[in-house]
């Protein structure tokens, strides 16, 4: 059984093919202009508008994409604005709090059930493991049973942890 194609559909396809191929035939000056626009960083939609405004060529967005591809050009990605470097200690940290007695590390692979996890070493040399669970709750499990770090160390730990998590974008 052979499939019959309607002549109406065939003529529409042929017309569409002719329309696209007619728009693809740019002369040398037009090609150079398109290349210059790409070099300037214009978006394809802007190039589409300029082709119509400057050369009277009314083309679709797809036509512009194909033209740029035929010319072996690659549109530039917009340059993102530079981010300010994160500070080691947030501005909200108390001025009288000494920094550096507590060290925090983040695990490469989070513990099961945790969004992020790691280890902390307090000023008295004792260590603990910490996790932030899926609900955003912080948990600290000391390596020595019954150990409670000094309140100043806990505050410094929270500030250091916040700084580490900000570095990771969390």
pLDDT digits 0-9 by tens, 45-91: 898 999 889 988 888 989 888 888 888 888 777 667 777 766 544 44
- Full-model pTM: 0.41
Is residue 64 assigned to a domain?
A: yes
**Band (42; pLDDT cuts 50, 70, 90):** confident
Is residue 136 assigned to a domain?
A: yes
Q: Is the predicted pLDDT of residue 119 greater than 90, yes or no?
A: yes
CA R_g for the chain: 31
pLDDT, mean of residues 14-40? 70
Is residue 33 assigned to a domain?
A: yes
Same domain, 60 and 108: no
Is residue 75 assigned to a domain?
A: no
- The confidence score (pLDDT) of residue 17 equals 41
Residue 138: strand pairing partners: 132
Can you give the residue range of the structural domain that contains 110?
Answer: 103-167
Q: How far apart are CA 49 and CA 56, in angstroms?
A: 10
Q: What is the DSSP string of 47-83?
A: HHHHHHHHH-----HHHHHHHHHHTT--PPPPPPPPP
Is residue 53 assigned to a domain?
A: yes
Q: Residue 101 in contact with residue 170, Cβ under 8 Å?
A: no
Q: Residue 104 in contact with residue 98, Cβ under 8 Å?
A: no
- Asked which of 5-9, 82-86, 116-120 is least confident by mean pLDDT, the reply is 5-9
List CB contacts of 142: < 8 A, sequence separation 6 or more.
126, 127, 128, 148, 149
Q: Which helix (H) or strand (E) holds 96?
A: none
Q: What are φ and ψ of residue 141, in 5° steps?
A: -120, 105
Same domain, 58 and 108: no
- The confidence score (pLDDT) of residue 67 equals 87
**Band (2; pLDDT cuts 50, 70, 90):** very low
Helix (H, G, I), strand (E, B) or coil at 138: strand
Is residue 162 assigned to a domain?
A: yes
- The confidence score (pLDDT) of residue 76 equals 76
| Total number of domains constituting the chain | 2
């Amino acid at each position: 059984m052979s499939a019959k194609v309607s002549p109406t559909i065939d003529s529409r396809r042929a017309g569409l093919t002719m329309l696209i191929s007619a728009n693809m035939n740019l002369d040398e000056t037009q090609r150079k202009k398109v290349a210059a626009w790409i070099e300037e960083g214009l978006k394809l939609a802007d190039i589409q508008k300029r082709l119509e405004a400057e050369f009277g060529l009314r083309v679709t967005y797809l036509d512009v994409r194909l033209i740029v591809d035929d010319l072996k050009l690659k549109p530039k990605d917009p340059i993102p604005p530079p981010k300010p470097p994160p500070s080691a200690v947030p501005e909200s940290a108390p001025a009288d709090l000494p920094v550096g007695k507590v060290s925090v590390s983040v695990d490469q692979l989070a513990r099961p059930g945790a969004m992020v996890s790691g280890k902390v070493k307090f000023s008295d040399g004792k260590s603990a493991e910490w996790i932030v669970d899926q609900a955003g709750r912080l948990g600290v499990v000391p390596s020595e049973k019954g150990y409670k770090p000094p309140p100043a160390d806990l505050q410094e730990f929270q500030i250091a942890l916040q700084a580490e998590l900000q570095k990771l974008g969390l």
